[in-house]
Every structure is written in structure tokens, then in C-alpha cells.
Structure 1
């Protein structure tokens, strides 16, 4: 789960006395407890991103910021009701002055750094998301990608964190309109605050219900879309409407405030990537944040603001927006700048650099624009500044996209020249032929950009059955009147073998029919898929695929799968045995029908995406390796095939072409092995044809 936060700028400091329960004057001194919330929230997000295992639920800092934003913005709108075009324009102009210049600087710098550092296969999506971030729709771009299985496996772009800024800005566009209508209606009955409260409560309730439902049905999408997040901002808005307690009840207020802070800490520690989120789980950190805001304990001895509001903490709250903007691009781009993945203590300098850049941006970009008398005095000037900032960032994003396309075309031309020129010792041939001097290859003949897009034709042909597994797609290659029929069955780790199979099929006048799905693997037990409601669809797809494959009366079934998701309701120590038993039953379905089976053992896992590692290492791409005992994962399908006694099942293990001397390599014979972390490139799979074709011929004619 990749998440970031959108802190409110330092100028949005809540007054120390927003509204007492019995009314009262308003002061303009900043509230230390809200600064503490900002500091804690941004620190949680940064720690989560840099050291996720240290704070697995740190992503809830986003939700804390949403509550604070809803409170501050609604407090301002209640003080200055947006009931006229001029008032609405003034509100939006404040948003432009406070958020866009600093964000524009970070987007511009990130674009330039991305062009300088990123390989073409990462620059292309980065350019697309830079454009989406400039237009404040990055959250919808990521929600769209969340439906793409392969997109979920790719390296995040350096502006992915702008999703939460998009949510807030979309909220800022619609929220004053909602309050304007509520206030105008309330004035007719002398109940403006009640009308605003009712409107906010209704919108928040609908959003929370939608969030709970979509988190259950489609959690990846639910995480990013605006309607599932509005209720969190509305919760802070309700606190603004009801008013904070600023007098009396000192002990009770302090206890409630500390309870709220504890709720945030519990969420940071207890939640992780497996927690269904946002949904109802987000109530824990958001209600905690609302309690801290509502109790306003700056005047209470032992209150949150008094105890935690030290100068360094308040200073972090002051620059939290800059920290939000800078920390993620630095984290994503740093490996490409230094030539290696950064982990552990090596990431500490990123924190220091983030703080320095955040302080500089706050002082020399955000504050001067916010305080500019010329801009504050003129709405046209403010909106012109916003338009110019957006135009520059759009231009830079489009330029980055053009650079990416040009690089990709050049890399493809170089690769095609090498591939069609019958370069000796290319790919697996470097391992197969003892005359080849170096199995890794003496030169890198495939660029990272080429490798990242070098996938089998199954992808462009639409042969996959993705979540929610209701599709029944098959693809058939080869002869329309085949002499023999071959079936390829499994998940994406079966699909990666299609390039090694299709030439033989076409040459021999056979046919190859695919039954391929993502994430699922073909067993008769329920699998723990990302969306629990889709588990029955996965099981139904497997039943259909096996039945339909048998109905084809194939001459050979080729099976392969990565068995990486656990079975439902099976203890961890029994998973492998139960999976192997299930695969044995699958094999028995085919062998009982007299169908021979060839099982292709699963390939190693590279850990990091192989093209990214090669891009990081640049001239040191030989360092892109994994220990064999880590990279080669258990394969219960291969184990079941090895244990089969029917005489109709054989296993082909080609990991020796990727791993030797206890090490698995991302580059073999100058070719990059994977287009991501573990799916073979089309090119490398084709260099394994001699072994695959021999095994197919032996099994199909045996």
C-alpha cells in the first residue's frame, strides 16, 4: 500500500479559541495541539514510506490530515460564509496562493529530475502522472490503475503521493458550494449552523457508507477515490460546526485528547497493508484526531498541546506541507541518482534533505506568495498565477512524455538490431553453450525500457481473466485444423511461457489454447484473493477452465503457476501440503482422462523489478542478483508433479538457466530476464525454446 498525506499549509493555523461550547471570542494564535497532530501525522507517513516494517500503519497519517483539513477549512467558511460569487472566488484564491506555488515548484523540479534519472519505461508513466497531479486528478489516475494487475506490480512514480492533494483540492471545490446552500437555507429559518451541520452529517454518512461498501468490494480503488474519503474531512467539519471546548472540564478534556492521540498511535502500530482501508477501519485514527481537535487542550496542564508541543514538534508542523511534497520524490528518485537501492539507515539522509527542502520551500515560496499584498488584493492576479503555474507544469509533463517516447524508440531500434543480428551467446544460449565465456553476458544488449515492455502477445491479445474472475476468455494460436491440441493453463506465470511454445505449435501445425488468469492458481480450494468477495469467482473460474480444457480433448496440457496467495482457513504450517494435495487432484483430473501433462516449474523471484535494478546500477548491472535460496520459492505444483505415479506427468525445471553457483541473475547473456519482478521477458522466454520444445515433444509423443 503506497500512501502519503496532504498536510494543510502553515498559514491554515487554527485559532486557539475557535468556538467555546457556550460561545466566546476568537483568538488568532495558532493551536499547538493541531501543530502536534500535523507533526505526528507527517512523521508517521514518512516513517511508513521509508521504513514500512517499523510503522506498518503509518499511512493513517493521511486520514489525520483529512480531519484537520476539514476542521480548518469549515471553520474559515463559517466565519466567512461563501454565499456570494465574490466570497467563493476569495476562498478559492486563498487555496491557490497557499497550495499551488509550492506544489508547482516540486512538480517542476521532479519532472526535470525524472527526465535526467529515470529510464524510459518509468519516465512514461511518470509523465502521465505528473500531468494528472498538475490537474489535481492523480487519485483518479491511481484508482484506474488499481484495476490493472500488472500496474500494481510496477515501481511507483515520484508523484504518486499527489493523490491525497487531489482529494483535498476536489473537496475544496465542492465543499464551499455545499455550505453556501446550507447556510442560505438556514438563514431563512434562523438556524444557519444547524443547517450546515445537518448537510455535513448527511454527506459524511453517505460517504462513510460508500467507503465501507467499496472497501469490501474493491479495496484498491476505494483507497484513492474522493467519495470514500469525503466523510473524513466531513468529520473535522462537524467539529467546526459543533465548536470546540475551550473552557472548563479540564481533566475530562485532557483525558479525551490523550485518548484520541492514543487511538492514532494504535492505528499506526496495529494496522498494516492487509487492513481493509479506508472503510470503517479509518474511524479509529479519524475519531482520534477529531477528539484532539474538539477538546482544544492548549490551556490545560497536561494537555496534548502542552506536553507534546515543543518547539521542534511545532516547527515540524509548520513545514509539514513541504515535507509532504518533497519526501516521496526523493525516496523514488534517490536509487537512480546513487545507482543502488537504498534501505535501512541509508535512507536517513533522505529525511535530512526532506526537512531542508521543506523549510526552504516554506520560507521562500509558500510564505511570500501567501503574504503577497498584490496577490491578496486581486483575484485575477491570483488566478493568473495559478494558471501560469499549471501551464508550466503541464508543459514540462508533456515534454517528459515526448522524451520518454523518443528514448523508447531508440532503445527498441538498438535492441532489434542486436536480436535479429543473431548475436552469439544471447540470453539462455550463454548458459547452454560452454563455449560462451560469460553466462551473464559481456555486454547489456537489452535496455531497461525495452525489457519493461517486452511481454508476450497474450497481453495485447486480451487473453487474461482478471479480477473479479467473471471472464471466460481464451486465446488460440496455431492451426485452425490442428494435428494436435495443446492447452496452457495457470496464472501469469503460465502465460510467460507462451513465447517459448507458440513457434513449435505453428511449425508443427498444432494449436495452443490458453486458460489464463491473474492472481488465482488452479486448485479446488478457496484462495485468499485481495477482495474476499471475489474468492468464489476465482474458484468458479478454475472449475470452468479445467472442465473446458478437458472438453477440448487435448493432446497435452502445459501447467504452470505461482502459488503465492494462501489458501483460506488453512494454517500457515499446512499451506504447502494442502496446496500440493490440491494440485495432485488437478493432475489426476487430466491423467485419468488419458491426457499427458507437462509442468513448468515456477521461475525465481527477482525481488525488485529487474529493469529498475538494471537502471539503478547502470554500468553495474551485474550486481542485479538474488541468493538462490531466496529467489527460488516453493512450488507445490512442481512437487505434486514430481510425486505423480501415473507416468503421464513430467516436470521441466529451467531455473538452472537463470541461477548458478547459488545466485539468480536478472541479466543472462546480455538479456534482461524479467519485465518486472518475476515474469519472463518475451525475448528471454524465446531463448529457452530448445529446452521447452524438447520437453513438449517428448511428452506429447511419449
Structure 2
């Protein structure tokens, strides 16, 4: 969020003319209101404002303008920058309010969030207090618009922009000082006069222009390659701050604009920002070239305001209601997101649009209280304001309090160990049909294996208390994703090609290829056991978010066409033609095209079914048998997190079969696979009774997240999967 260095004391607030004469910009105060309202309404999911997140980009431009202008005025007047005073002012202005909101948010999260989720949020709070949460989210691959985030968003996610701002403050003053030193060094080498060194503007313009060009180029590249890095990091956002700085350095040129061109420029800038808010969506590749619209829009408004701050759109932005919102913009930004995230937990249900808007207004009330009792008293108290060391001490104390609060709260998070009676492990003893037996024998083996699992499901449905011997333990469940990704055997979003990932008897004449996305990889533990028992060679060929279907696909995480997936598919098909496995097992997620995962097609739709038929037919033509595994049910929650909040009522996390299973889609897939000459396995009865889908079977946790099986449940179902593969091979 933005510094308010053009803000004023409470006494000056009552004297608008006096403040304006001292450089206060009413239009910038109003521009803050536009930015914060856009962000708040976007986070409140108001229809028609899918691009409201660009309000943060507007804040970046404002920060670049104000901070660069402040530093330039000081360096041109004194020849240097008082770093203690500069950083002290930033600390006094920003850190106490941020720490206060952070501490309240951490306390609320500790008692409102499920125990398994609370520690992650507390660590988010600690990193946010240290202003490096943007890199935490970046390294964790957190997508600001991710489909998964809606299940358990962090109430500190919005602090990423504060991290960018604080990092900007750390490097910008040394940058200005470095340019000043360089000018002096060059003049000294040339034996030129040193007088007026700091008043030479051109080198500073060149430095900021270089920063803008390099940063923008990096942003363009990483938006396509590593979107999380492009979105969260200072190097890829610095160009927006530099644009604001260039406007500040060119302010005297802007002031020469006649009123009419300045008015047109200001209104055009406001139009660009509003267009961004309404035209963009979470699917828009961002920042990339899209960020030019709000960035240039903000620059035009600020530049035009240098000439006519109270004319054109400045007249609108300077209205008292806009300025009032602008004054609380920083605190409102701090409060709105955690309140929106935690309010549903407090009331016990999700919020509708009206309730979200009321919640946003309540957060504005908290913002006013924060400004009134924390921000202003600490900012304007003479004993602090006039002492850089006390200002720095205040900021350090606020940060230390927030960090220590987070560390202390980690110690009071409730444990997530089940307290229910121990339960027996799921054990399936399938007897494979004898080689050469008729198909009836294979069908009978499948029915017998399914029946055993059904018996265990019926016995497990309605379990109240999480068993004390649950495997994997809830606290360890999230670690299983590392094994699902098979240590390189499942290709990531940006990887193509595929290494040799074979298990079992690698010299066997029977090769079974398990192919698909992460929903193929999650079955690898089952097939590894089968490979050892059947003396098969099992090869796992999987790629994140990439079903083996010839459909044009886009990635909501990469925000572009998923070309790596298309290339990987081609390579895998060519590889299968060369290797000629006896059986290809296809498995894939059925959430493509769902809310938050726009992929260019939708699971079960006609294009999906036609592509499935074509793929099966193509594989059959190459001489291999094909088995398509049906979908697993949608648990409709992050299961370990849900269970940690319902240790004494696990049924609260059990979805209804009717809502967790798409029966008509499964039937359509079965027909499509049969049409292509393959075999289809409806797996629903391995997860659901007639009406419910337990998330614990025996003592085994079924899901380690919101859509993947645990290694333990995959292995437990290995005998059943074995009967299905035996039948598919026998029908060749």
C-alpha cells in the first residue's frame, strides 16, 4: 500500500487551502479512494469488477510519485538524503497500523480457523510483519487468483503489496544517493565544478528510465514463464513505481500543460483505470502488458494534476467524500481482506453479496478507528515525529510485537490428533483370476474386490470421532503432495519431455503405462505394489494440469495457452508408439473448466467426450489395451483441515454422494470410452456408499487435500485396481 507523504496533520486537515499551498494534492487523496474501493469491491466479489485488483497498481504509481518527489526535493536542496529521517518517517507512518491489524488478525485466525490451517496463517502473519510475505507467497506458488485459494485463503494474502512497498523504500533512497554519488564522481574525474550537482535532473531521469525498462522487460517475460514471480516480486513491479517517479521528476513540464490538454489527460487516465477494473478478470495475464493500462492511467491523472489539481477529474477526486475515503485508504486496505475472510467463520456460513458489502463497510469503520487512535496519534506526536531514532524505534517495536505475537500464538494452536477409538486398517484380499480363465472369472474378481471395499465404507460411514490411529496423521497429510509429485516423475507446469520413471520388473515383457495429470500420479502407489506382485514394468507418465486429450488448453496458473502441455502430449504419444505397452491406464482430474479453473474446455462436455473417444481409439490402433479410470468423488473441502476442526464429528466433512459424484458425466464417459474400443472403470463404489462418501475408511484418511488420494488409500485399493487391470489385459 501507499505512503501518504502528501497527507497532513489534523490541524492542517481543517485548513484545506493552507495544505494545498504546502504541496498537498487533493486529487491524489481522491485517487487513493478510487484505488482502495476498486480493491475492496473486487475482494468482495462484486459483479462487473473482475479487474478491481488493479487498484494496487494505482497505489504503486502514487508511491513512486510521492517518494521520488520527496527524495528529489531533499537531494536537490541539500545535496543528500537523511536516511534516518526518511526511514523513520516510513516506519512511523506504516508499521504501527500494519502490526496492529496483523496481531488482531493472527489472534482471530488462531481461534476461528481450523487448527491445521491456523499455523500456516500465523507464519503468513509473521512473514507479513517482516514485510517479506510477497516472497513467501511467490516461493509457495500461491496464485492470487487460484481456484484452490477459495477453499482456504490466507487473511494475509493482501500483505504482499505492503512487502513490495517496503522493499521499494529500502532501495529507492540508496538509488537516488547512488546517482548523486555517480554524478559527483564523474565531475571529479573530469575536474568539473561540483556546484549544482544535485540539481542536475537528467541522470536521475535516466536511472529511473533504466529501472522501468529493465523491470518491465522482466515482468513481460516472467508473466508468461513464472507468473507468481511476476505478480509478487519487487523487480517485476519496480517499473510501476519508476513510472510514478518519472512523473515526479518531470513535474515542472507537466505544470506547463494548458488547462484543456491537462483536463483531457486526467479524464483519459481515470477512464483507463475504470476500463481496467471492468474489462480485466482473474483470467487476464497479469501484470504483463495488461498492467500498462492502470499504470499509465494513474500516471496521467497525477501528471495532469501537476498542472490543474482542482480542475478536470481533479475536481471529482477532490470532493470531500473521495478525500475522506482516501484518508482511511491505508487502514481500510489492511482491514478489509482479513475481515472478509474471517467473517464467514465467525457467523458459521458463507456470505452473500449484500453481506459481503456490509462486511466491507464494517472494515471501513475499523479503518477509521485505526487512523483515529493509532495512525494519527503516533504519526503526529511531536516527541516521535521530530526524532528519527524514536520513529525507527517505534517501527521496530511494532514489528517485534507482531512477530512475537505470531510465535506465541503458534504455541496455543490446538493439536490435531484424533481422539476416537482405534480402528482397523482397510485390507482388501482380492484373488486374481487364473490366466486363461473366461471373462466371467475376471468380472467376479472385480465384484468381490469392490464388495470388500463397500463393506468397509458402510462400516466407516457415520464415524463421529477421528480415530487415534489415523494414517496418515492429519498433521502429516499435507506432506504427501511431495510423493504424489513422484520426485520428478510428474512434470511441472513448465517442464516438457519425460524421464524414465519405471518401477517393478523393469525387464518384464508386460509394460503398463499410467498416464495423465496429478490424478494419474496419485494412483502410482497402487501400481507400484501391483508391479511387484505381477512382475510388471509400470511406467508413470504424468504432467501437472495436463490430461492426455487432444484439446486446446489454457492454464489459469500461467494465464496463457498451456503450450507445454500440448508439447508434452505429443512427446508421450510418440513415445507410446515406440514402446508399445500392453496396457495404457488413463486417469485425470474432472475439474477442468470449473469455477476458478478456466482451461478452455469443461470436463464431461461434448468436446471432452469426443476427445476421449479419439484418444482411446488412437491408442487402440497402436495395438495397446486402454483402461480409463473414472473420477474420484469431490470431497468439497480440504479434508485434513476440515477434520482438524471436527475431530469429534468427522461426518461434518463427508459429502453427499449426489453432490460429490457426477453420475451422468461418468455414464457419458463410459459410453465414450467403449465407443473408442477401451475399458472404463467407474470407481465411485470404492469411495461412496449409497448416499455418502466417507473421508476416513477404517483408520485410513482418503484425501490429503481437496482432490487427491493419500498414498495409504491408494495402496489399500491396489488389489482392486489389480482386478481392473487384469480384466482389461484379459480382454485384449
Looking at structure 2, the residues matched to 175 and 628 of structure 1 have their Cα atoms a distance apart, in angstroms, of: 57
Residue number in structure 1 paired with 2:14: none
Residue number in structure 2 paired with 1:44: 38
Residue number in structure 2 paired with 1:159: 156
Residues 1:643 and 2:665 aligned together: no
Residues 1:677 and 2:706 aligned together: yes
537-546 or 608-617: bigger deviation: 608-617
Alignment of 1:268-667 (within 5 A): 268-296=277-305, 303-400=312-409, 407=415, 410=417, 417-418=422-423, 420=425, 432-433=454-455, 436=458, 439-445=461-467, 449=475, 452-455=478-481, 457-459=483-485, 461-479=487-505, 482=508, 484-524=510-550, 526-530=552-556, 531=558, 535-549=562-576, 551-562=578-589, 576-606=605-635, 609-612=638-641, 622=651, 625=655, 628=658, 632=662, 634=665, 638-645=670-677, 649-656=678-685, 658=687
Paired residues of 1:259 and 1:288 also in contact (CA < 8 A): yes
User: What displacement does 1:390 show?
Assistant: 2.5
Looking at structure 1, the residues matched to 530 and 380 of structure 2 have their Cα atoms a distance apart, in angstroms, of: 71
In structure 2, relative to structure 1, the CA distance for the partners of 1:422 and 1:367 (3 Å cut) is farther
Structure whose CA Rg is larger: 2
Paired residues of 1:13 and 1:31 also in contact (CA < 8 A): no
1:175 to 166, 172, 177: 172
1:123 to 118, 121, 124: 118
Looking at structure 1, the residues matched to 592 and 458 of structure 2 have their Cα atoms a distance apart, in angstroms, of: 39
User: What displacement does 1:145 show?
Assistant: 2.2
Paired residues of 2:64 and 2:245 also in contact (CA < 8 A): yes
User: Secondary structure of the equivalent of 1:80?
Assistant: helix
Could you give the per-residue CA deviations for residues 491-517 of structure 1, whole angstroms, max 9, x where no partner exists? 012122234444344344444321111
Q: Structure 2: give runs of 5+ residues left out of the alignment.
A: 10-18, 185-193, 429-449, 594-598
218-227 or 599-608: bigger deviation: 599-608
User: What displacement does 1:64 show?
Assistant: 0.5
Looking at structure 2, the residues matched to 521 and 477 of structure 1 have their Cα atoms a distance apart, in angstroms, of: 22
Root-mean-square deviation (CA, aligned residues, Å) is 4.0
User: What displacement does 1:212 show?
Assistant: 2.0
User: What displacement does 1:589 show?
Assistant: 4.3
User: Secondary structure of the equivalent of 1:651?
Assistant: strand
Looking at structure 2, the residues matched to 216 and 514 of structure 1 have their Cα atoms a distance apart, in angstroms, of: 28
User: What displacement does 1:539 show?
Assistant: 2.6
Paired residues of 2:590 and 2:603 also in contact (CA < 8 A): no
Q: TM-score, normalised by structure 1?
A: 0.84
In structure 2, relative to structure 1, the CA distance for the partners of 1:148 and 1:488 (3 Å cut) is farther
Looking at structure 2, the residues matched to 8 and 248 of structure 1 have their Cα atoms a distance apart, in angstroms, of: 27
In structure 2, relative to structure 1, the CA distance for the partners of 1:151 and 1:280 (3 Å cut) is closer
User: Secondary structure of the equivalent of 2:513?
Assistant: strand
Looking at structure 2, the residues matched to 117 and 78 of structure 1 have their Cα atoms a distance apart, in angstroms, of: 47
Looking at structure 1, the residues matched to 728 and 304 of structure 2 have their Cα atoms a distance apart, in angstroms, of: 74
Residue number in structure 2 paired with 1:74: 68
Q: Structure 1: give runs of 5+ residues left out of the alignment.
A: 1-5, 15-24
224-233 or 370-379: bigger deviation: 370-379
Could you give the per-residue CA deviations for residues 279-306 of structure 1, whole angstroms, max 9, x where no partner exists? 2221111111112212228967763343
Residue number in structure 2 paired with 1:238: 246
Paired residues of 2:57 and 2:294 also in contact (CA < 8 A): yes
Q: TM-score, normalised by structure 2?
A: 0.81
Residue number in structure 2 paired with 1:21: none
Paired residues of 1:429 and 1:687 also in contact (CA < 8 A): no
In structure 2, relative to structure 1, the CA distance for the partners of 1:465 and 1:416 (3 Å cut) is farther
User: What displacement does 1:153 show?
Assistant: 3.2
Residues 1:198 and 2:206 aligned together: yes
Residues 1:58 and 2:87 aligned together: no
User: Secondary structure of the equivalent of 1:433?
Assistant: helix
User: Secondary structure of the equivalent of 1:513?
Assistant: strand
User: What displacement does 1:61 show?
Assistant: 0.2
Residue number in structure 2 paired with 1:7: 2
Could you give the per-residue CA deviations for residues 71-112 of structure 1, whole angstroms, max 9, x where no partner exists? 111121122229777712211111111111111112222222
In structure 2, relative to structure 1, the CA distance for the partners of 1:360 and 1:574 (3 Å cut) is closer
Looking at structure 1, the residues matched to 691 and 311 of structure 2 have their Cα atoms a distance apart, in angstroms, of: 58
Alignment of 1:82-231 (within 5 A): 87-146=82-141, 153-154=148-149, 155-183=152-180, 185=183, 191-231=199-239
